[in-house]
Structure 1
Amino acid sequence: MNISASSAPPLVLASQSPFRRDMLQAAGLAFEALAAGIDERAVEAPLAETGATPGDVAQVLAEAKALDVGEKRPDALVIGCDQTLSLDDELFHKPADMEAARRHLLRLSGRTHQLHSAVALVRSGETVWRHVSVAHLTMRPLTPEFIGRHLASVGQAALSSVGAYQIEGQGIQLFERIDGDYFTIVGLPLLTLLARLRDLGAIDG
């Protein structure tokens, strides 16, 4: 699908994530943000029986969010996003409390995990593009004492991320190696998305 500059639809981000909103705003995009109304765990549950990879799960969730918001805004080009964190193909979810955050960091300590960031574009009920990028992050060995001090310092912010860390903040101190681009790690493969929006004529090229 190609869109002429004169007929470019409004952009809608199917997310209330402040990190994704900030990325698009910093890039100069004019858009609206609407939260999707899907039950992510309900969408994810049947995928476990099909042998879906963490990247597949991220892609299905990103597309489901875009399609859900697209029903409300069929006039718009809807951007759906999702990110999964996996360690040895085990999916992690956002920690429910600080004890769960502590367990997350203990599991990830000294090991390499993967972040799969997916994005999908939907217009008029049709998925017109999808993409998944991956980053590999190696956490340095962490003592339980350091984890306790780190979580006390960052506070409730640890519960807003699936890995119980924010790479753009104090979470960077947890790592010894990162392979992948910053935008994938934060949760939206922005460079690839912008390129596709230019290809579609949805933003100035």
Structure 2
Amino acid sequence: MPVLWTPSEKLLLASTSVTRLTLLVSAGLSVETQAAGIDERAVEAASVHEGLDPPSLAGRLAMEKALAVSRRHPERVVLGADQVLECEGRVLHKPADRAAAHAQLKALAGRRHVLHSAGCLAIGGTAVERFATSAVLTMRPLTDAAIDLYLDLAGPDVLRSVGAYQLEGFGIHLFEAVEGDHSTILGLPLLPLLAALRRLGCLAL
């Protein structure tokens, strides 16, 4: 049987994200997962102190995740990925509860926002490839009743999304326009990742 992934051990994803795992498996990659275990808010605070902009913050978070797992498994190819949502200069995070999700959607309604997705490949505790892409999304105006209906339909899954929506599900109803690659919107720049893996000799195709 033809083999796409050439290393003897599977790609190690420094995340427990089901969405990112699904993207990788759908692309035919052999993948295992492990939580990075980093303090993302502490990394973000340090990055803000350094003056990093939102795209650079996404890259820093992806790199720190990759390095944390790579130090534990120096012989493996490790992938770290992260995503930052920027709206009018503000960085938004995953909502803590339904009330926070409602407030976040109300803030995004009728506005454009940007999703910055970044990835980093690490081997032997060293970052060997870094890449990032962005997507621009325009959310349509929404009433409080419309937001409540969406939250009822989508359920608790909204708390797993940085924008309190999942574009691959009911979240598509919230938007007027989407500009960007689908995998970028889901939090993993897949085409740049595959190009980086080819440069490292990890893919036969």
CA offsets per residue over residues 53-84 of structure 1, 9 Å max, x none? 11111000000000000011101010000000
TM-score, with structure 2 as normaliser? 0.95
Say if 2:85 and 2:114, in contact at 8 Å, map to a contact too: yes
Distance 1:199 1:8, change over 3 A: farther
Aligned to 1:92: 92
Q: CA–CA distance in 2 between the matches of 1:174 and 1:22? A: 23
Say if 1:36 and 1:65, in contact at 8 Å, map to a contact too: yes
Say if 2:119 and 2:193, in contact at 8 Å, map to a contact too: yes
Aligned to 2:164: 164
Answer yes or no: is 1:142 the counterpart of 2:134.
no
Q: CA–CA distance in 2 between the matches of 1:123 and 1:194? A: 16
Q: Secondary structure at the match of 1:188?
A: coil
Q: Report the alpha carbon displacement of residue 188 of structure 1 after superposing the two structures with TM.
A: 0.3
Say if 1:53 and 1:89, in contact at 8 Å, map to a contact too: no
Aligned to 1:188: 188
Q: CA–CA distance in 2 between the matches of 1:10 and 1:154? A: 33
Q: Secondary structure at the match of 1:173?
A: helix
Q: CA–CA distance in 1 between the matches of 2:92 and 2:131? A: 21
Aligned to 2:124: 124
Q: CA–CA distance in 2 between the matches of 1:7 and 1:159? A: 35
Say if 1:10 and 1:75, in contact at 8 Å, map to a contact too: no
Aligned pair count?
Answer: 201
Question: What 5-or-longer segments of structure 1 have no aligned partner?
Answer: none
CA offsets per residue over residues 82-113 of structure 1, 9 Å max, x none? 00001012110100000000000000000000
Question: What 5-or-longer segments of structure 2 have no aligned partner?
Answer: none
Say if 2:6 and 2:203, in contact at 8 Å, map to a contact too: no
Which segment drifts farther, 6-15 or 50-59?
6-15
Aligned to 1:83: 83
Across the aligned residues of Structure 1 and Structure 2, the Cα RMSD in angstroms comes to 1.3
Distance 1:13 1:6, change over 3 A: closer
Distance 1:139 1:200, change over 3 A: same
Say if 2:6 and 2:202, in contact at 8 Å, map to a contact too: no
Q: Secondary structure at the match of 1:28?
A: coil
TM-score, with structure 1 as normaliser? 0.95
Say if 1:8 and 1:202, in contact at 8 Å, map to a contact too: no
Q: CA–CA distance in 2 between the matches of 1:136 and 1:53? A: 16
Q: CA–CA distance in 1 between the matches of 2:57 and 2:8? A: 30
Aligned to 2:20: 20
Say if 2:121 and 2:128, in contact at 8 Å, map to a contact too: yes
Q: CA–CA distance in 2 between the matches of 1:48 and 1:7? A: 37
Distance 1:6 1:98, change over 3 A: closer
Aligned to 1:37: 37
Q: Aligned partner of 1:184: which letter?
A: T
Aligned to 2:199: 199
